[in-house]
Chain A
Amino acid sequence: MDSFLSGAAQIFTLATLIYMLAGSLAGIIAAAIPGFTVTMAIVLTLPLTFTMEPLQGIAVMLSVYVGGYTGGLISAALLGIPGTPSSVATTFDAFPMARNGEPGRALSLGVWASFFGTIISTVVLIVAAPPLAMFAVKLGPWEYFSLIVFALTIVASLVGDSVIRGLLAGLIGLAISTVGTDPIMGRPRFDFGIEMLETGLPFLVVLIGIFAISQLTSEVEDAKSVRSGNALVTGAIDFQTWKVMKEVLLRPVNLIRSSIVGVLIGALPGAGGSIANLVAYDQAKRNSKDPDSFGKGNPDGVVASEAGNSATAGGGLIPLIGLGIPGSAVDAILMASLMVHGISVGPRLIMDHADLVYGMFIAMAVASLMMLFVSVVSMRMFLRVAEVPKWLIVPVVMVCCVVGSFALNNRVTDLYLLGFIGVAGYALRALGYSLAPLVLGVILGPIAETNLRRALMTDADPSLFFTRPISLIFLIAAVVSIAWAIRGHLKQRKTSGRSTDAPAS
């Protein structure tokens, strides 16, 4: 209880609340701009939080996160373009609804669904994380290593269209993490005589290069669309805030089901909002009495998609707080920000820094309230944001990336690294590698290595990985997740192969 109050005291200071408000505003604006993802927004927020207290920094980043999941709704509903990948399913019903003359209702539905989705997921997080941590501290290095192997395979198999390229990306991430001194003995590795590499590749620079620079570059692939502007839905917009709140609350089954789907998917490593919104939408459609009306402006579709993607925010924190394993790229960044402040993330987090964890819970709830407040008060303004053209966004955000990478270490060499990683990241993206496993590989690499070596230092017998039951379960799960992914892949190829081969034969 003491730590709960201490966490609350740290969150409810004027400075923190103002920063958080700015964070939700920034998150909503960023995600409302097509081509600017939630991940990018969080990556760029990270350097700004270095000077803050740990909890304050995390609270600001959570606000950006929660705000970002809502902001994607704006361009999804009004332009039919998902502002972020996590609002793809929102376009299915919110856009037709806006087109049918109810853009305000579509937006309000989404905002309320996001709000309740976040709140429900926070409740699940508060209930689920502490027992998970209690269980996790009993795990030895064997179990931990196997758990990370499992996490990486599931990431590789869930994200992207190719299991092999997903695996390769994850392994490349692990390889990147081995540059610099080794985590146990402190021996230099792979520095090739370059001074900058002696301490390892700076994680933030890698993140910005991989996610932001490559994403921005891919935005200009289509020369024609860059040079034209998008027309916005015009006409009077009536938000009907309170009426819609009732409307959302009158769909409790859909709301809770979609939120639970979001929490579960968010808690799975690798799967985040970009999958949850589609699954929640699909579930809502299947369970609807009137499935044909989906895709034509059914409010249930909007509620399902937005509650689903927002609920992943709380779900993703469950493995992060309980196990010290990030569930998604965004959670990896949150974890990195804690590590920058010298807080080691793992199952002991909740015991050693209980005030921080409770503070995070409170921050989630406060952030969702702020998101609601900001959205209701200034939604009209955000309508303009979705209009910001790409030719402004790309150069400006690139400069922000440069500032962010520089501010970490005040080193000009980091900028060269940023350029190099940006090009490499774009090449990987263009070749169809998914980048999320790579980032998780970078952050999980040192944890995996430390646990592997610690396990073998405790007992030189490697068969312990297979004879300790929990470790064995994780390893079997890893094999199953790969096998399952390959099976699905083959099945898909068979059907698509038949359809392309048919005209040839």
Chain B
Amino acid sequence: MSDAGYDKQQAREAGEIARLLSYVLILLASVGLFVSATAIPTSRFEKLGAGAFPKIVFAGIALVAVIAIIDALRKIPAGAYGRFACQTVAWARRRYLVFVVLATLAVYLLAIPLLGFSVASFLFILGLELVLMPRRPATLLVAVIVAAVFSFGLNWLFAEVFTVFLPRGVL
């Protein structure tokens, strides 16, 4: 029992480190965008140019990010950094379905212009259902019907009722 509690503590520390990384990333991005905002030309008709508001926002982000970084550095014990890699792997493994879903979504989005909306959606829904569902014959039937309705059926609905034509594909 104490073992599980220990793990949780380590996982929390790893989460803090991941957040720290996100703050650093946000800080770098905001500084970079701040610099690029200075290149936006100002107008002689107003005191603030088009770049002024973005500069204020990015300066604000940078400021808050610095505070967040300092706050995070205080919270994370020194030993946590060494464990970060294996904690991250463990975290990713616990949530492997998330990565499966996001990867499937990416493939689906890329496939739409090629296969067309109907075929791509049918494959996407069915594929994802097969990954996520408890494998029983009855559910398989439901899965196929649902996939067909929400791909070919949706395409028909949008074309006929809303006159929105979803991508047809080149194949």
Q: Which of A242-250, A328-336, A388-396 contacts B (4 or more CB under 8 A)?
A: A388-396
B82 within 8 A of A: no
B85 adjacent to chain A (CB < 8 Å): no
Q: Is the CB of A452 within 8 A of B48?
A: yes
Docked pose: A410 CA to B47 CA in angstroms? 39
Q: Given A217-B101, A395-B124, A419-B109, does the pair A185, B154 have CB atoms closer than 8 Å?
A: no
A9 interfacial by beta-carbon distance below 8 Å: no
Q: Which of B19, B46, B108 is close to A432, meaning CB atoms less than 8 Å apart?
A: B19
Is B151's CB under 8 angstroms from A220's CB?
no
Q: Within 8 Å of chain B (Cβ to Cβ): is A300? A: no
Question: Which residues from chain A contact B36 at a C-beta distance below 8 Å?
Answer: 190
Pick from B23, B105, B125: contact of A422, CB below 8 A.
Answer: B105
State which size class the interface on B falls in: 35 or more
Binds B, one of A352-360, A398-406, A463-471: A398-406
Q: Of the listed stretches A58-66, A129-137, A163-171, A281-289, name the one at the interface; the rest are far from the partner chain.
A: A163-171
Q: Which residue of B lies closest to A417 (CB)?
A: B109
| In the complex with contacts A218-B98, A398-B105, A456-B50 CB distance below 8 A | no
In the complex, A484 has a CB within 8 A of chain B: no
User: How large, as a class, is the contact surface on chain A?
Assistant: 35 or more
B146 nearest CB across to chain A (Å)? 6
Question: How distant is A327 from chain B, measured CB to nearest CB, in Å?
Answer: 22
Contact yes or no, A453 B48, CB < 8 A? yes
Contacts of B30 in A (CB 8 A): 175
- Tell me the minimal C-beta distance from A36 to chain B in angstroms: 15
B119 beta carbon closer than 8 Å to chain A = no
Q: Residue of B at shortest CB range from A166?
A: B64
Distance, CA A390 to CA B143, complexed state (A): 12
Within 8 A of A (CB), among B108-125: 108-110, 112-113, 117, 121, 124-125
A227 touches B58 (CB 8 A): no
- What does DSSP make chain A's interface, helix, strand, loop or mixed? helix
Evaluate contact between B142 and A392: CB separation under 8 angstroms.
Answer: yes
For A51, list chain B residues within 8 Å (CB): 162
A204 is an interface residue with CB less than 8 A from chain B: no
- Alpha-carbon distance between A497 and B105 when the two chains are bound, in angstroms: 41
- Residues of B near A15 (CB, < 8 A) are none
Residues of B within 8 A of A185 (CB): 43, 45-46, 49-50
- Inside 8 A of A410's CB, which chain B residues have their CB? 164-165
Contact with A along B102-146 (1 / 0, CB 8 A): 100110111011000100010011001100111000000011001
Contact A189 B51 (CB under 8 A): yes
Give bound CA distance, A165 to B147, whole Å: 39
Known contacts A226-B132, A228-B134, A412-B167: A187-B50 contact under CB 8 Å: yes
Q: Given contacts A398-B128, A399-B124, A453-B52, could you give 15 more A-B pairs where the C-beta distance is less than 8 Å?
A: A168-B61, A168-B65, A175-B33, A220-B132, A227-B132, A228-B134, A392-B133, A399-B150, A399-B151, A403-B117, A410-B165, A412-B113, A416-B109, A452-B48, A453-B46
Which 8 residue pairs are nearest across A and B when measured between Cβ atoms?
A: A391-B132, A182-B50, A395-B128, A391-B133, A187-B50, A449-B53, A220-B97, A395-B125
**14 pairs, A vs B, C-beta closer than 8 Å:** A165-B19, A168-B65, A175-B54, A217-B98, A221-B97, A227-B133, A228-B134, A391-B129, A392-B142, A398-B105, A399-B124, A402-B108, A419-B106, A452-B53
